[in-house]
């Protein structure tokens, strides 16, 4: 059982040392250059941490039933079916089993609650947009159309809200909405407007809200964990950078950077950049920088994410394999 405890416990290292790991990852230059790889690593840390915490409890709980964890889970399953579920388990093992069961229930409850609230909020937003906004084809706004159609979907309809404050966002869902305000239309020139629209459509088409939802659930379940706090702050910025990568194909880096700065605060580029939050500053610096990152970095990050997930996945797969190949 020691081997299985070690394999599973390794996945908990980013959580145990969450402050240092999260700070290093959130501030890493390579993460800005390769936001997709950084997002995958954050997802691996979150998923491996949750599965690892559950797995450690399960491994410890069935330790008296067999020398190897898969056989222990197999034996425990037979005991449950035969009505002797906790036979052979001491108080400490029962406590470990209760830990895993409680943690699963806690995570499932917060995930379901977050999903329900998110879907309800999106539905309300779509309803309000449908009531308050005018539906306009972006070609009627004077937005130039890329001859290659890069980044532009067939449906170019935009929902325009009244109001002088420049606003641009998307309401995700099966029927997403790309929303602008009249203030944004007045502030941006046609090229900048196309960049903003491509950015928001990248969010909608990529369903970035689904990537964010698990981290929102973790923040609700474990708000005190440093790694969860860091992920909750870092992941939205990475998603913005992913959308920027799509939009920059349509508009170019400098046009998109200018649009981001203007939308950050409608008081001129210099004032806007000074008032912008850290995420906006990082995005603009990334677009205007000359370094594109090294090609080997994503492969190394994906390998690290896979290695981090291997222990928890083995704990999940091994008992199933034991039942499949040694059903007796």
Range of the domain at 86: 1-122+294-328
Contacts of 270 (CB under 8 A, 6+ apart): none
The whole-number pLDDT of residue 159 equals 92
Which tens digits make up the pLDDT trace of 85-113?
777 788 888 898 899 999 999 999 999 99
Q: What is the pLDDT of residue 240?
A: 93
Worst-scoring range by mean pLDDT, 91-105, 192-206, 222-236, 275-289? 275-289
Q: Is 321 inside any structural domain?
A: yes
Q: Is 63 a member of any domain? A: yes
Mean pLDDT, all residues of the chain = 83
Which is higher by pLDDT, 118 or 311? 118
**Which residue in the block uniquely carries the two structure tokens 């579920």?**
85
Residue 222 lies in a domain: no
DSSP code for 154: S
Percent of the chain having pLDDT more than 70? 85
Q: Is residue 24 in some structural domain? A: yes
The tally of domains found in the chain comes to 1
Tally of CA atoms within 13 A in the half-sphere of 311 that contains its CB: 28
| Confidence at residue 308, expressed as pLDDT on a 0 to 100 scale | 87
Beta strands in the chain (DSSP E): 134-137, 157-161, 168-171, 177-181
Specify if 10 maps to a domain: yes
pLDDT confidence bin for 266, thresholds 50/70/90: low
Report yes or no on 52 lying in a domain: yes
Would you give the DSSP letter of residue 67? S
Task: Examine residue 43 and state whether it is found in any structural domain, yes or no.
Answer: yes
pLDDT in tens, 243-256: 999 999 988 999 99
Pairing mode, if any, of strands 134-137 and 168-171?
Answer: unpaired
In a domain, 240, yes or no: no
Grade residue 280 by pLDDT with cuts at 50, 70 and 90. confident
More confident residue, 3 or 94: 94
Q: Which of 186-195, 267-276, 282-291 comes out lowest in average pLDDT?
A: 267-276
> Is a pLDDT exceeding 90 seen at residue 257?
yes
Task: Give the pLDDT of residue 174.
Answer: 80
Q: Nearest to residue 287, comparing CAs of 31, 28, 33, 30?
A: 33
């Amino acid at each position: 059982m020691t081997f299985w405890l070690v394999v599973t416990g390794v996945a908990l290292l980013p959580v145990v040392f969450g402050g240092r790991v999260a700070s290093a990852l959130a501030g890493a230059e390579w993460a800005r250059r390769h936001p997709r790889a950084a997002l995958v690593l954050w997802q691996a840390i979150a998923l491996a941490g949750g599965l690892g915490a559950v797995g450690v409890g399960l491994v410890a709980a069935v330790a008296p039933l067999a020398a190897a964890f898969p056989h222990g889970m197999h034996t425990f399953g037979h005991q449950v079916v035969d009505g002797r579920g906790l036979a052979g388990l001491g108080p400490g093992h029962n406590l470990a089993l209760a830990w895993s069961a409680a943690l699963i229930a806690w995570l499932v409850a917060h995930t379901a609650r977050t999903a329900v609230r998110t879907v309800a909020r999106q539905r309300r937003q779509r309803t309000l947009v449908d009531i308050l906004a005018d539906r306009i084809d972006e070609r009627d706004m004077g937005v130039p159309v890329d001859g290659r159609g890069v980044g532009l979907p067939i449906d170019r309809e935009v929902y325009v809200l009244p109001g002088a404050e420049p606003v641009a966002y998307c309401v995700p869902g099966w029927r997403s909405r790309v929303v602008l305000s009249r203030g944004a239309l007045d502030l941006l020139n046609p090229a900048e407007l196309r960049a903003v629209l491509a950015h928001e459509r990248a969010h909608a088409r990529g369903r970035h809200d689904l990537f964010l939802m698990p981290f929102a659930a973790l923040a609700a379940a474990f708000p005190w964990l440093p790694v969860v706090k860091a992920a909750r702050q870092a992941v939205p910025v990475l998603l913005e950078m992913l959308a920027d990568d799509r939009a920059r194909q349509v508009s170019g880096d400098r046009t998109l950077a200018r649009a981001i700065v203007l939308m950050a605060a409608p008081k001129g580029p210099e004032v806007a950049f000074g008032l912008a939050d850290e995420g906006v500053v990082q995005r603009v610096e990334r677009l205007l920088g000359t370094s594109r990152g090294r090609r080997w970095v994503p492969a190394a990050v994906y390998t690290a994410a896979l290695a981090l997930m291997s222990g928890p996945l083995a704990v999940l797969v091994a008992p199933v394999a034991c039942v499949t190949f040694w059903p007796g």
